[in-house]
Structure 1
């Protein structure tokens, strides 16, 4: 059941955002600003997003301070805001209601007649970016909320005057249950965030709740057993996509058009709808592109527009993003992959690209995930020719109950090396990677900083 409070925005005009400089906040700010709300905000450090917001006429204060809240009707804060924040304390003192970002996202989504909410353990950001690219190039002027920066719109999302909004919908902590999709897309369900969900059955149950919130149509990966189990007996129409002949939309004649970059035909029942050539590497992106093709054409784009948008799509930030070159001439790329399934897909694509060697620079993220999936990480990382790792980034966790270290993973990967910080990683790469090699940093933490340290200015 949807957990939206229908009265939360009633008679609210002035919205204050705590953590307004975050990439997840910016699209929400853009949309609500365009809708006529008075927006103010605060953050701890300046940055490009804050510069954009100030250029829009939004008053952004640095740093957080209690008086920044005065006059606001509603406070919106990011999940990263720590307990005891002076602005949240001030809001409580003044009786100003406060909600977390994902709650507000539910309201933003409902401002548009047709929402396309894209969920799944893997591929959300890429598929959301692809779908947005298609609809934008097709002249549909969609709104969008994306987990990565899409070059076409020069940001993480946008307000739009069309009827569609494309929303990346994250399952962690059940945040996607604040949404009421018109159309939902489920790409896959894999064993991630189990430190929160506890079991695969609980994870599938959460995706089922998300699907139950869908008003019109579910677009689902018909090849993914977990997804189809979660949707068994669902109340609304389910349209499937995949490689299997039993799917409603099928990718046929899948082949490499050039090393690591795939092309395929899209078929619906007995009709060929079009041919797609991708500009992002890896066979896994055929699934993402097929999902985006289906979602965008059912939202009004033509098959030709969908194919054109997909060919023009060259990725979002931190998704196999080529950043530059080392002093020795090695190509440096960065990718958000942090789960074994994602690492396998990314490294397999990297190995097909014709480089002499692939160096995987991996930052494990959270102790719970590292311990739970240790053997799986040890199986997929050696797809690379050389594995270089940092110590685990604990994020919201402490290591007291897990007692797991990168050394435990390195012990299972012959020839791998690890360092406690980025300086050691960068030194190793500078010493060993040459002009015909690819160095790819991997992880959802701050490993991208190491990639930028390697690049010659």
Structure 2
């Protein structure tokens, strides 16, 4: 909700709000920053709803029993979901670039937005993560940018089906894999998404994505392995914190040297997606590649917190589904050193949906010396079924031949990691839907 609030305020709207996290005392610095910008923040007790002229915007996770919802009904206030509001703003923009896919959306959005900024297009950007290129002491939570240009770059979410609300000029699809919905549902959602766009940028290396190509009106294709991809990459050299490659534009035979300040082959795919997206929006491939040279990444996307005096490196990462976790672990395992993977599941529902696939990734992507440690899933209240939790995932990992421990309390997980960590280890903190994971990662580093 934060980036949407920033965009609305940038357009002159009066914005107020409440958040259960604020009432619980979590990430107080974020809420203090919002108040410094002039946002009116209230306890989540309904006191912020004062009249029928207000519009209540609530995420899909907000239940009808929340006091704001009850008060809004009493006043007869219009209600919008987060996705409905974002789609309204996006569809009103002259030129919308929508970033879709199961994994990598936030990074591709940040990369595409940075390319557009570098190219002088002055875009508005809506992201699910803090974009380091736009962060500053005055804007430490820069998950949105309000521009004066015609371009609106936004990630769009398939997990709740709201991707169906968007009418992009350019649609980007990087991958399709199991997460919140079945593959059958995802194929329908993403196929319709491509069909609504004037032009689509798709990854030919991903079989599910490539199979949806016939839905698109026009295409810019990308990939590393596929010889049919219009925009490709060769001469890939991966470093622990960076990557270089040569980008090929097979349409005109040109080649361009790419230097990324973010590591991992998955980020090369993200970069190719952003280059293709920008090119579909009228930016030359050479200019897009040049812009990415100064892209410095997103918070919580393989975000290196630091290395302790004892030589243990801590990495903060958003990995929370099988594809994202696999990409993060592959990046780590491309270089020497033991990996301790801490994983906090982002909910009981998602864990039940993708538990087998997640456990297989954690068991097979890590080596015999590596270790996975899981705490209980995120739970901030509500009526979700909590009968199957992290202990089940540990059993599945062990059944697949991996090493894992279930430690219910996150604080106890930190103590366990501090107990077993050795010089040269890499500790990766993974999970989503919990802003305090970054604080946990920093506190963990201080203990090592």
- 2:288 pairs with 1:306: yes
- 2:261 pairs with 1:276: no
- Where structure 1 has 5 or more consecutive residues not aligned to the other structure, the ranges are 1-24
- 2:5 pairs with 1:39: no
> For residue 361 of structure 2, what is the aligned residue in structure 1?
377
Partner of 1:116, secondary structure, is strand
Partner of 2:298, secondary structure, is coil
Compared CA separation, residues 323 and 94, structure 1 to 2 (3 A): same
> For residue 406 of structure 2, what is the aligned residue in structure 1?
418
What is the TM-score of this pair, normalised by structure 2?
0.87
Compared CA separation, residues 405 and 370, structure 1 to 2 (3 A): farther
Q: Specify which of 420, 441, 445 is matched with residue 451 of structure 1.
A: 441
- In the alignment, is the contact (CA less than 8 A) between 1:261 and 1:283 conserved in 2? no
Partner of 1:180, secondary structure, is coil
Cα shift at 1:67: 5.2
- Where structure 2 has 5 or more consecutive residues not aligned to the other structure, the ranges are 136-141
Cα shift at 1:148: 0.9
- 2:64 pairs with 1:64: no
> For residue 323 of structure 1, what is the aligned residue in structure 2?
305
Compared CA separation, residues 383 and 217, structure 1 to 2 (3 A): farther
- 2:227 pairs with 1:245: yes
Cα shift at 1:231: 3.4
Partner of 2:442, secondary structure, is helix
Mapped to 2, the partners of 1:48 and 1:169 lie a distance apart of 27
Superposed CA offset, 1:335-391 (max 9, x none): 11122222222112112344x322222234433135342552354342484223224
Cα shift at 1:314: 2.4
Compared CA separation, residues 409 and 235, structure 1 to 2 (3 A): closer
> For residue 270 of structure 2, what is the aligned residue in structure 1?
288
Cα shift at 1:317: 1.2
Q: Specify which of 183, 187, 210 is matched with residue 200 of structure 1.
A: 183
Mapped to 2, the partners of 1:384 and 1:209 lie a distance apart of 43
> For residue 405 of structure 1, what is the aligned residue in structure 2?
392
> For residue 420 of structure 2, what is the aligned residue in structure 1?
432
Instruction: Name the structure where strand makes up a greater proportion of residues.
Output: 1
What is the TM-score of this pair, normalised by structure 1?
0.85
Output the aligned Cα RMSD.
2.6
Compared CA separation, residues 454 and 213, structure 1 to 2 (3 A): same
- In the alignment, is the contact (CA less than 8 A) between 1:143 and 1:158 conserved in 2? yes
Q: Specify which of 156, 172, 176 is matched with residue 159 of structure 2.
A: 172
Q: Which segment is superposed worse, 127-136 or 401-410?
A: 401-410
- In the alignment, is the contact (CA less than 8 A) between 2:170 and 2:280 conserved in 1? no
> For residue 191 of structure 1, what is the aligned residue in structure 2?
178
Cα shift at 1:170: 1.3
Partner of 1:360, secondary structure, is strand
Mapped to 2, the partners of 1:272 and 1:42 lie a distance apart of 52
> For residue 28 of structure 1, what is the aligned residue in structure 2?
4
Compared CA separation, residues 64 and 326, structure 1 to 2 (3 A): farther
Moved over 6 A (4+): 401-404
> For residue 111 of structure 1, what is the aligned residue in structure 2?
92
- In the alignment, is the contact (CA less than 8 A) between 2:345 and 2:390 conserved in 1? no
Cα shift at 1:300: 4.0
Cα shift at 1:111: 3.0
What is the number of residues matched between the two proteins?
425
Matches within 5 A, 1:47-86: 47-66=28-47, 68-70=49-51, 72-86=53-67
Mapped to 2, the partners of 1:133 and 1:335 lie a distance apart of 21
Partner of 1:312, secondary structure, is coil
Cα shift at 1:229: 1.9
Cα shift at 1:326: 4.1
Compared CA separation, residues 414 and 188, structure 1 to 2 (3 A): closer
